[in-house]
Amino acid sequence: VNIMVANKTLVTEFVLTGLTDLPRLQVPLFLVFLVIYLTTMVGNLRLVFLIWKDPHLHTPMYLFLGSLAFADAGSSSSVTPKMLMNFLSMNHMISLFECISQFYIFASSANTECFLLVVMAYDRYVAICNPLLYPVVMSNIFCTQLLGVSYIIGFLHPLMHVGLLFRLTFCKSNVMHYFYCEILQLFKISCSDPRINMPLIFTFSVFIQSFTFMSIIISYCYVFFAIRKMKSEKGRSKAFYMCSAHLLSVSLFYVTLFFMYVHPGPGPAENQGKLYSLFYTILIPLRNPFIYSLRNKEVIGALRRIMNK
């Protein structure tokens, strides 16, 4: 497990202390997060399946929604299974390779989600502000290109941080007071100087999160102006509901990311960091299927058609 280099023991395994070290809370927390995880996976994968299976949902809006559900499933699966195992196990060890892999899968899913939310906002902008041009602008080829760019950027960006993680060595404590391998926690226990890593994390987080968030806000400013001009009360209500659901999802996602990574100087306190991380790794992937499909007549209709078959 450990190797000796230059009279220093280099750590190749870490201990994840989890959410709490109180034995009496381990089983209740396991049951709570097991239910959350199963609900998240069933909700998101059901949404992906319905959109893939039902021809009525083969539209740009649902194509993007299915991609978002897939990214949410990946985000939750990168963190929750290991956390559930640690609730019931005395061995909370995770190897360096598993640790970096966990960070990469989660970061890729979260980055992809940022760009998918922009794409969904643009889709609503075209649908509401230029409805006559919508079939031309949001063609199948263009939608595929938007999804491709979202996933390519989402998966390439974390590779830079993974590459820089390999320049760090870990020879002090191997204990992370966290429930998953969060990159800022790795910096804290590194015995190498992370002064190169930290500014890059901050700079790219500021750029990506600010760019995508402002793009969404600008799109919805145009959308809300267009909604106010609608003559049909029913049309206004439907458009406003769809947009407000998306904005609620965006707000919950970005607020926690801003507090966690777009934060000059020292990061949030340990318990605050855990709370923010719980939101964007476990709770936010749970809420998307409910926000987007619970009152969506097209999705409910697709579910009924599949069940009838």
Q: Give the pLDDT confidence of 192-217 residue by residue, as tens digits.
A: 888 888 888 888 888 888 899 999 99
Residue type for position 45: L
Q: Domains in the chain, please, with CATH?
A: 3-308 (1.20.1070.10)
Burial class (CB in 10 A: 0-12, 13-18, 19+), 40: buried
Give the pLDDT of the chain (309 residues) as one tens digit per residue: 344 444 455 777 899 988 888 888 999 999 999 999 999 999 899 889 888 888 888 889 889 989 999 999 999 999 999 999 999 888 889 998 999 999 999 999 999 999 999 999 999 899 888 889 999 999 989 999 999 999 999 999 999 999 988 888 887 778 888 889 988 888 888 888 888 888 888 888 888 888 999 999 999 889 888 888 877 777 677 777 777 777 877 887 888 777 776 655 555 556 677 877 888 888 888 887 777 765 567 777 777 777 776
In which residue are the tokens 């230029």 written?
Answer: 130
* Three-state SS sequence of 210-249: HHHHHHHHHHHHHHHHHHHCCCCHHHHHHHHHHHHHHHHH
3-state secondary structure (DSSP) of residue 293: helix
Task: Answer whether 0.85 is exceeded by the pTM.
Answer: yes
In which residue are the tokens 């409805």 written?
Answer: 131
In which residue are the tokens 């960006």 written?
Answer: 157
By the 8 A CB rule, do 222 and 129 touch? yes
Question: Residue 14 has which token pair?
Answer: 């870490």
Measure the N-to-C terminal CA separation of the chain; round to a whole number of Å: 54
Q: Taking the CB of residue 187, how many other CB atoms lie within 10 A of it?
A: 18
Say what the pLDDT of residue 4 is: 40
Question: Residue 173 has which token pair?
Answer: 């404590």
Collect all residues with Cβ–Cβ distance below 8 Å to 57 and sequence separation of at least 6. 50, 51, 298, 299, 302
